[in-house]
Amino acid sequence: MTSSRRSVLELAAGAAALPFLSQHVTAQAYPSRPVRIIVGFPPGSGVDVVSRLIAPSLSERLGQPFVVENRPGAGSNIATEAVVRAPPDGYTLLWVGPPVAINATLYDKLNFSFLRDIAAVASINREPNVMLVNPAFEAKSVAAFIAYAKANPGRISMASVGNGSVSHVSGELFKMLAGVDMVHVPYRGSGPAITDLIGGRVQVLFTTTSASMPFIKSGQVRALAVGTAARAEALPDLPLVSEVVPGFEASNFYGVGAPRATPADIIERLNREIGLVLADPKMKARLAELGATAMPMSPEDFRKLVADETEKWAKVVKFSGARPD
């Protein structure tokens, strides 16, 4: 083989290896500066609390600050659009939750498609929704509640934490599957909704374990059942709504996304590091205190979860006629 031909082959082999070498170098170098996690809800909200549990652990593991930045508004659409438009370099991440699945149908016009424009990075946790009633309400079980609702159509007031919220569509899913008629009463947040449930001004509320646990433990509200497909670790004695209403599943999931063209090696590294954070017994215990369960997933599985939730909530939004505030 001539030296000139050998040189050409060596150059070709080197060129072919460049993409793999580039990815390896990118993964090794990332992150080299602070990373922002954009949260679409205000500081102190349930969504925000979990993000601020995860961020310090990522900072410690990866050697750069992971900074939570709150951009509330439009049911998290403002935050999502900001990340869609951010450079796809791994330095702007999106805190993902159920609103991204609900909003795809709830809003007539969005400047983005979550499933098209956001790359799934990692799932964080799942938190059950709990079906709560006022302690004086006569129904002591889901079956008794449905019987009462059918005997008294339109006489039960169903609170939610806002139009188009997970709380709202969970109640609408219950109405759709159980065949009951309840009057929706939207509130701005779980605090006022629970206050009026305790006061008897509304009779039922579907909300998260983190928002409701203190009131369940104190006896100020009665929990009838949980909305997850399996019993909740935080409330192991509570039955499932689906035991009486087949097909009912309503819970909150949280995770991380990134702009669509973010390099695969960065996504893979973030997914791996988040998985290690979630495997820490201290993190599992802290999530358990909030009534949540760690739920690590591959990027592909997390994307499928969001796609499945988007399809499910689309049917409920159309059934209910829900509109954003």
Place of tokens 């997914």: 271
Is residue 4, in this structure, part of any structural domain at all? no
Is residue 8, in this structure, part of any structural domain at all? no
pLDDT at 10: 52
Q: Residue 21's pLDDT band (boundaries 50, 70, 90)?
A: very low
11 membership: H or E segment, kind and range: helix 3-29
Q: Containing domain of residue 269, as a range?
A: 27-127+252-320
- CATH of residue 155's domain is 3.40.190.10
Q: Where are the alpha helices (DSSP H) in 30-141?
A: 46-62, 77-84, 99-106, 114-117
Is residue 12, in this structure, part of any structural domain at all? no
pLDDT at 205: 98
The residue that leads in pLDDT, 183 or 5, is 183
Span 306-313, average pLDDT:
97
Return the ∠ at Cα 9 (arms to 19 and 5), rounded to 5°. 160
Could you say which of 243, 268, 288 is where a domain stops?
A: 243
**232 and 138 in one domain?**
yes
Percentage with pLDDT > 70 across the chain: 91
The residue that leads in pLDDT, 323 or 313, is 313
pLDDT over 90 at 272, yes or no: yes
pLDDT at 325: 76
Amino acid at 48: D
The residue that leads in pLDDT, 232 or 112, is 112
Is residue 54, in this structure, part of any structural domain at all? yes
Structure tokens at 160: 């939610």
Q: Residue 144's pLDDT band (boundaries 50, 70, 90)?
A: very high
Could you say which of 194, 220, 243 is where a domain stops?
A: 243
pLDDT at 43: 87
Q: Give the end-to-end CA distance of the chain in Å, rounded to a whole number.
A: 74
**140 and 173 in one domain?**
yes
Please tell me the number of Cα atoms within 13 Å of 300 on its side-chain side.
0
Q: Which residues contact 124 (CB under 8 A, 6 or more apart)?
A: 50, 54, 253, 254, 255, 256, 274, 278, 294, 295, 296
The residue that leads in pLDDT, 26 or 87, is 87
φ and ψ at residue 237, rounded to 5 degrees? -85, -10
pLDDT tens string 167-221: 999 999 999 999 999 999 999 888 899 999 999 999 999 999 988 999 999 999 9
In this structure, is the dihedral angle defined by the CA atoms of residues 67, 70, 75 and 81, taken in order, positive or negative? Answer: negative
* Residue 263 CB neighbour total at 10 angstroms: 18
